[in-house]
Amino acid sequence: MIKAVTLDLWDTIIQREQGPIEPYVIMELESIIKTIGRAIKVDMDELIKAYNSLVEYRGVFNPRVYAKLIIALLGLDIGANIVEEALIAYENGGSQYKPRLIDGARELLQYAKSMGLKVAVITNTHFSSGTVHKILMNSGIGEYIDLVVSSADYEVLKPHPRIFQIALQQLNINPHEAIHIGDSCIRDVLGAYVAGLKPVLYARRQKSVDKCIRIPGLRVVYSLRDAINVVEELLHA
């Protein structure tokens, strides 16, 4: 019996920003400047350069650790108290960000909750789980989310099964009682399948379908509204 739906975040329920640097990153870096600026002048271009030099580790480290690495790269001679304030400011800096929803996301979440299902977001992101929830509240869907599990909080990325297991433990359900919906063949479908969840591919790209088509039990949808039908089918299977 299905008891929960877990979902990917970026490009599954909210739209990923395009461009060289995302607006929420600017918000986070501005929060560092505002805090550290009380003690020493910080150049935004230098801050962005330091941020970009670490970007491959984004989502692996807790936000405060990531910010501490940025500050260390800049070689700023400031006191420990100001550094701590800057780390907190960075962690909360993106909490006012309001992303665009993927078409059908609200309807899918509303349906899941109307059926009495638990709903969790499992995401590879540099945001803390708390910040992700605030962002979802900003977009008007936070009320439907029971749990957010961020890679940054647990320092483990999808497709590692442990991040799925963390979510299942907190939801107090078994793997076969959960459906996972995501747009990535490797991170979402393969990760969920290995962890024992029922995988659903939100096929935004045909290459993801081609790559994952042999995974046993895979269901493929081309819109989140189609995903409602899959959830309904599995509920009554």
Q: For residues 134 and 192, what is the distance between their CA atoms, to the nearest angstrom?
A: 25
Per cent of the chain over pLDDT 70 is 100
Number of domains in the chain: 2
> CA 121: distance to chain centroid?
7
With beta carbons less than 8 A apart as the criterion, state whether 36 and 78 touch. Answer: yes
- The pLDDT tens digits for 42-76 are 999 999 999 999 999 989 999 999 999 999 999 98
Q: Are residues 74 and 141 in the same domain?
A: no
Helix, coil or strand: residue 100: coil
User: What is the pLDDT, as a whole number, of residue 77?
Assistant: 78
Helices (H), the chain: 23-36, 44-53, 63-74, 80-92, 105-114, 129-138, 151-154, 161-171, 191-195, 206-212, 224-235
Helix, coil or strand: residue 200: strand
Instruction: Please report where in the chains the tokens 């479908």 appear, as a residue.
Output: 189
Instruction: Please report where in the chains the tokens 């009554």 appear, as a residue.
Output: 236
What average pLDDT does this structure show over 170-189? Answer: 98
User: What is the pLDDT, as a whole number, of residue 187?
Assistant: 98
Q: Given 35, 68, 92, which residue is the final one in a domain?
A: 92
For CA atoms 213, 110, 2, 229, give the dihedral sign. Answer: negative
- The pLDDT tens digits for 83-123 are 999 999 999 999 999 999 999 999 999 999 999 999 999 99
> CA 51: distance to chain centroid?
19
User: What is the pLDDT, as a whole number, of residue 20?
Assistant: 83
* Residue 143 CB neighbours (<10 A): 10
Structure tokens at 151: 């890679």
Q: Are residues 141 and 211 in the same domain?
A: yes
With beta carbons less than 8 A apart as the criterion, state whether 8 and 159 touch. Answer: no
Q: For residues 81 and 2, what is the distance between their CA atoms, to the nearest angstrom?
A: 48
Q: Are residues 142 and 165 in the same domain?
A: yes
Q: Are residues 43 and 152 in the same domain?
A: no
**Residue 134 carries which side chain, given as an amino acid letter?**
K
The whole-model pTM stands at 0.95
Q: Are residues 194 and 116 in the same domain?
A: yes
Q: Are residues 71 and 182 in the same domain?
A: no
Q: Are residues 84 and 44 in the same domain?
A: yes
For residue 171, give its domain range.
4-16+99-235
DSSP 101: B
* Residue 217 CB neighbours (<10 A): 8
Q: Are residues 85 and 31 in the same domain?
A: yes
Helix, coil or strand: residue 199: strand
User: What is the pLDDT, as a whole number, of residue 135?
Assistant: 97
Q: Are residues 150 and 33 in the same domain?
A: no
Q: For residues 111 and 141, what is the distance between their CA atoms, to the nearest angstrom?
A: 12
User: What is the pLDDT, as a whole number, of residue 76?
Assistant: 81
* Residue 202 CB neighbours (<10 A): 27
Residue 115: CATH number of its domain: 3.40.50.1000
What average pLDDT does this structure show over 223-231? Answer: 97
C-alpha separations of 82 from 41, 77, 204 in Å: 13, 10, 44
Q: Are residues 219 and 133 in the same domain?
A: yes
